[in-house]
Amino acid sequence: MNLSRLVPASGKVRAGLIIAIFFVLLAAFGPLLTSYSPQASGTELLQPPSGTHWLGTTQTGQDVFAQFVYGARVSLGVGLVAGIISQIVSVLVGVIGGYFRGLSDDLLYILTAVFLVVPGMPLLIVLTGYLPSRGMVSVAFVIAITSWAGSARVLRAQTMSLRRREFVEAARATGESRTRIVFSEIMPNALPLIASGFLFSVIGAVLAEAGLSFLGLGSLTTTSWGSMLYFAQSAQAFLYGAWWWFVPPGLAIAVLGAGLALINFGIDEYSNPRLRTGKSRGRATRTSGPHAAALSTAGAAAAASGVDAPGTAPVLHEDGVGEVAGTEPSEGAAAAAQLRPIDVAGEPIIEVRNLKVDYPGIDRVVHAVDDVSITLHRGEILGLAGESGSGKSTLTNAITRLLRNPAQVTGGSITYHRTRARPGGSRGTDPGSAESIDLLGLSTEELRGYRWDEIAIVFQSAMNALNAVTSVGAQFDDVLRVHRPTMPAREREALARTMLEKVGIDSDRVSSYPHELSGGMKQRVAIAIALVLEPDVIIMDEPTTALDLLIQREVLDQVMALRDEYGFAIIFTTHDLSLLLEVSDSIAVMQRGRLVEYGPALEVYAEPRHPYTQALLASLADMGALV
């Protein structure tokens, strides 16, 4: 392990760490440096610092240095214990409430609101006044009780925002349990807030303890920085010019606070890969060297595997800008821009029959999917087109069982024809293992096995579908741990590397973070993750919309090549009918929840029956989008 990588790059963070470590060492070993007891009185009263008393003495002859180092233990101890308790409560209340919502969230939110409106210090004073004993732990506990609410509210808001993000949807779709989603998707993204909340709780608790002691509410038999200030103030040390008595504890509290605030920068830097500087960026740059060679290998592998894309196998460059071997890019794009021969002769794999999905509203019901019937065959690419709001996502979400409240399936059926043994991921062709599954009747547990193993999803905009704070390899791992729990870590990594190469990305990118990849690469990673369990069906929801045309072409060619290699079927959703005509075997066009056109792509192109499709094709022809 390279220890130098653990040293933060930022000078501010290093300074903060040095300060914090100094005080921790002072609290741990400081008492070994003095032979005086912090409480023992002496004969040298109110003496300034000297060789005998390094920080002078108090009015009753106590050694200030001894009080300072023993006091560091108490002040830091109270800060740490209170910070830990406070953050545990904040995380439980904020993350659980924000993620699970419902009644538990309502109750927790009311509790949070109550603690937020009651002023913290007066509450602290009242509660401390009733404490039977004012030991370090009980004071820390009371401080924690009065300080968790602000952080919990921020964490709840962050969790509510994160739970709707596409990478969380993707994790849900892969079958990750709710607990795992909370711990591996939500918490890492909330880490900066949790960590900064912890640091501020610590310094807040140190200050609160000092405040309580200063008011005479702390333990008067235990020395802390706060009690030092209390006794210094009671003895009017300021008036006597005995600065050595109150300056060390006051300064220590201020410097410790500044140090913890500086560390906060480091937490942001650590938890947000985007902010990492120096070494990690260097790593990203270095990988670009061997990458090109590996890509050529991937391209060669694709060619060797008999990829039968139009023209020849695409050779991809790392950033997604590439060319078709043997042709100029523009020629390659033009060569591929032709209608595919119709081949929908495979067995049916998904049959949607008379499906109806409604969204009940306050004054009306939206019939988002209205009596739709389609059949997806093994290996077929079914293009799903239609204007915004026509019901495409609702239909595909019904197939993947990812519909959200208030959606209600009010009629019809969705049948999945499984033709291979599960689980295990090995592609079998034993017709004896065929079975028909009523997807709408699957339990939550059964769904977990079905999603990703049988049907995978490439979400719209891979930028959001990938978790920004975990590496590419960890995102493959998330899927494999759930679906292949017995697979050893080394095999999981090897599989992730293989899949990356399959989509034309250097396998070393397994350790990259999403922000280190271009848009096209991210989309390819999303496709590779969708393919990792060799599903029978892939739902692609506008997978290339966010990409420029050339990269869109590259990614689509790659998908076609992989489809030919793996034989999965695709439901491809987009607004772009010209794109669908190019890549699809069959096309379904939706309008206001209804299927208005459905048939082989060539027929839809040659003889559009519905006025809506005719108008769409006419507008495409006007724009010169159709050849």
Ligand X SMILES: Nc1ncnc2c1ncn2[C@@H]1O[C@H](COP(=O)(O)OP(=O)(O)OP(=O)(O)O)[C@@H](O)[C@H]1O
**Residue 469, Cβ neighbours under 10 Å: how many?**
22
Q: Is 32 helix (H, G, I), strand (E, B) or coil?
A: helix
* Angle, vertex CA 552, rays to CA 546 and CA 556, nearest 5: 125
- Confirm if 422 and 454 have CB atoms less than 8 A apart: yes
Minimum Å gap between C-beta 576 and ligand X is 11
Q: Is 204 exposed, middle or buried (0-12, 13-18, 19+ CB in 10 A)?
A: buried
Minimum Å gap between C-beta 587 and ligand X is 15
Distance CA 586, CA 602 (A): 8
Minimum Å gap between C-beta 374 and ligand X is 15
Q: Is 490 exposed, middle or buried (0-12, 13-18, 19+ CB in 10 A)?
A: exposed
Cβ closest to ligand X, residue 359 vs residue 566? 359
Cβ closest to ligand X, residue 197 vs residue 386? 386
Cβ closest to ligand X, residue 369 vs residue 532? 369
Minimum Å gap between C-beta 359 and ligand X is 3
| Among candidate residues 277, 94, 332, 70, the one with its CA nearest the CA of residue 190 | 94
Minimum Å gap between C-beta 360 and ligand X is 8
| Among candidate residues 535, 569, 568, the one with its CA nearest the CA of residue 453 | 535
**Residue 319, Cβ neighbours under 10 Å: how many?**
15
Cβ closest to ligand X, residue 175 vs residue 386? 386
Cβ closest to ligand X, residue 101 vs residue 515? 101
- Confirm if 372 and 395 have CB atoms less than 8 A apart: yes
Minimum Å gap between C-beta 362 and ligand X is 11
Cβ closest to ligand X, residue 557 vs residue 597? 597
Cβ closest to ligand X, residue 164 vs residue 490? 164
Distance CA 116, CA 423 (A): 50
Distance CA 21, CA 160 (A): 35
Cβ closest to ligand X, residue 145 vs residue 407? 407
Q: Please, which residues have CB within 8 angstroms of residue 362's CB and are 6 or more apart in sequence?
A: none
Q: Please, which residues have CB within 8 angstroms of residue 549's CB and are 6 or more apart in sequence?
A: 333
Distances (CA, A) of 337 to 293, 333, 375, 556, 602: 29, 6, 26, 11, 13
Cβ closest to ligand X, residue 269 vs residue 370? 370
Distances (CA, A) of 36 to 53, 62, 80, 252: 9, 8, 26, 20
Residue 49 preceded by cis peptide, ω within 30: no
Minimum Å gap between C-beta 402 and ligand X is 11
Minimum Å gap between C-beta 171 and ligand X is 20
Minimum Å gap between C-beta 467 and ligand X is 22
Residue type, 542: E
Which two three-digit tokens encode residue 390? Answer: 């026509």
Cβ closest to ligand X, residue 93 vs residue 366? 366
Cβ closest to ligand X, residue 366 vs residue 571? 366
Distance CA 197, CA 466 (A): 26
Beta strand 586-591 pairing with 594-600: antiparallel
Minimum Å gap between C-beta 521 and ligand X is 24
DSSP 107-176: HHHHHHHHHHHS-HHHHHHHHHHT-S---HHHHHHHHHHTTSHHHHHHHHHHHHHHHTSHHHHHHHHHT-
Distance CA 550, CA 330 (A): 9
Minimum Å gap between C-beta 166 and ligand X is 13
Helix (H) / strand (E) element for 601: namely helix 601-606
Minimum Å gap between C-beta 407 and ligand X is 6
Identify the bridge partners of residue 351 per DSSP, sorted by sequence position.
375, 415
Q: Is 299 exposed, middle or buried (0-12, 13-18, 19+ CB in 10 A)?
A: buried
Cβ closest to ligand X, residue 30 vs residue 386? 386
| Among candidate residues 161, 163, 130, the one with its CA nearest the CA of residue 145 | 130
CA 205 to chain centre: 30
Minimum Å gap between C-beta 584 and ligand X is 17
Cβ closest to ligand X, residue 276 vs residue 392? 392
Cβ closest to ligand X, residue 318 vs residue 370? 370
Minimum Å gap between C-beta 589 and ligand X is 11
- Residues of this chain that interact with ligand X (CB under 6 A) are 359, 366, 368, 386, 388-394, 406
DSSP state of 5: G
Residue 423 preceded by cis peptide, ω within 30: yes
Distance CA 302, CA 312 (A): 10
Minimum Å gap between C-beta 356 and ligand X is 12
Cβ closest to ligand X, residue 224 vs residue 396? 396
- Confirm if 174 and 451 have CB atoms less than 8 A apart: yes
Minimum Å gap between C-beta 545 and ligand X is 10
Cβ closest to ligand X, residue 34 vs residue 461? 461
User: In the block, which residue shows the tokens 């501020």?
Assistant: 200
